[in-house]
């Protein structure tokens, strides 16, 4: 009798467990959103999409600054591409941010103090500046940063305000550059002139050209073949990012 009573108790417990499990499983199968045949069946401002009440079906169902995605209103992205961002910023994960390196500024672009100086689109070398080539549809200087084939390094020289004369403090740099060019045969050199932001664009272009030509003349007097030197005036278009005293300069680049 005790064995029979125990068996009945065990079967009763199992039956209760089956009912509870079935109820839990049934709860899990309920849809997360109410079913509907039309928007009139939905409450709290929801709309009917594919027989389910959801927050939105189009962007018009969402508030200002939001967009509809998979039936939910979410914050609209600040940007989808770099061109959507102002002040030379880059688009990262839907937000406009300052750049950290040249690679974030696209082909041929440069990151200067958190802002991208983007390369100019081109179809041929004629669309680009003298010290640039048209590569993959953009004006670039592909030799910059790609190594100089074992050539020695050329130092930048700096100038006083509104002056194209070579200061005594810069002559040792130019003497070293001339010796470097002399021992590196088969390579030409760009002398890229720059200015600070004072003065008009036209004046600064002319001043940067005078600075580059002054450097070329000085190096020619030291014995450098003038045919290997090409002056490229940039004016104020490419600031150094290190202050105006560093903007007034002539940079050397192997070509």
Q: Are 50 and 67 in contact (CB under 8 A)?
A: no
Question: Per residue in 56-95, pLDDT tens?
Answer: 888 888 888 788 888 888 887 778 788 788 888 888 767 8
- pLDDT digit string (tens) for 115-143? 888 778 888 888 888 777 787 677 776 65
Q: Which two tokens stand for residue 103?
A: 């690679």
pTM (2 decimals)?
Answer: 0.47
3-state secondary structure the chain: CHHHHHHHHHHHHHHHHHHHHHHHHHHHCCCCCCECCCHHHCCCCCEEECCEEECCCCHHHCCCCEEEECCEEEECCCCCCHHHCCCCCEEECCEEECCCCHHHHCCCCEEECCEEECCCECCCHHHCCCCCEEECCEEECCCCCCCCCCCCCCCCEECCCCCCCCCHHHHHHHHHHHHHHHHCCCCCEEEEECCCCCCCHHHHHHHHHHHHHHHHHHHHHCCCCHHHEEEEECCCCCCCCCCHHHHCEEEEEEC
Q: What is the mean pLDDT of the chain?
A: 81
Q: Residue 91: its pLDDT value, please?
A: 84
Distance CA 192, CA 174 (A): 14
Tell me if 138 sits within 8 A of 120, measured CB to CB: yes
**Which pairing describes strands 47-49 and 52-54: parallel, antiparallel, or unpaired?**
antiparallel
Distance (Å, rounded) from C-alpha 185 to C-alpha 181?
A: 7
Contact criterion met (CB below 8 Å) for 85 and 98:
no
- What confidence tens digit (pLDDT) does each residue in 157-206 have? 999 999 999 999 999 999 999 999 998 888 899 999 999 999 999 999 99
Q: Is 138 within 8 Å of 106 (Cβ atoms)?
A: yes
> Which of 7-11, 151-155, 174-178, 222-226 comes out lowest in average pLDDT?
7-11
Residue 230, pLDDT > 90, answer yes
Q: Quote the pLDDT of residue 163.
A: 95
The answer to whether the beta carbons of residues 67 and 59 sit under 8 Å apart is yes
Which structural domains are found in the chain, ordered by start? Answer: 34-76 (no CATH), 82-140 (no CATH), 157-254 (3.30.1330.60)
């Amino acid at each position: 009798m005790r064995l029979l009573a125990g068996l009945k108790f065990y079967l009763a417990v199992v039956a209760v467990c089956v009912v509870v499990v079935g109820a839990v499983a049934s709860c899990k199968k309920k849809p997360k959103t109410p079913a509907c045949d039309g928007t009139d069946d939905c409450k709290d401002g929801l709309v009917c999409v594919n027989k389910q009440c959801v927050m939105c079906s189009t962007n018009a169902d969402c508030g200002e600054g939001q967009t509809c995605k998979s039936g939910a209103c979410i914050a609209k992205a600040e940007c989808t591409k770099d061109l959507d961002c102002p002040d030379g910023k880059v688009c990262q994960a839907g937000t406009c941010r300052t750049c950290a390196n040249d690679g974030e500024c696209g082909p041929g672009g440069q990151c200067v103090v958190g802002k991208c100086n983007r390369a100019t689109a081109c179809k041929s070398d004629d669309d680009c500046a003298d010290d640039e080539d048209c590569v993959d549809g953009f004006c670039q200087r592909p030799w910059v940063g790609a190594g100089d084939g074992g050539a020695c390094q050329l130092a930048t020289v700096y100038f006083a305000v509104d002056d194209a004369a070579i200061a005594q403090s810069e002559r040792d740099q130019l003497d070293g550059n001339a010796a470097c060019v002399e021992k590196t045969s088969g390579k030409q050199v760009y002398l890229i002139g720059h200015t600070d932001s004072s003065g008009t664009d036209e004046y600064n272009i002319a001043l940067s050209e005078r600075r580059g030509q002054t450097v070329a003349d000085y190096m020619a007097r030291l014995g450098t073949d003038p045919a290997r030197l090409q002056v490229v005036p940039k004016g104020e278009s490419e600031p150094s990012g290190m202050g105006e005293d560093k903007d007034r300069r002539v940079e050397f680049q192997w070509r």
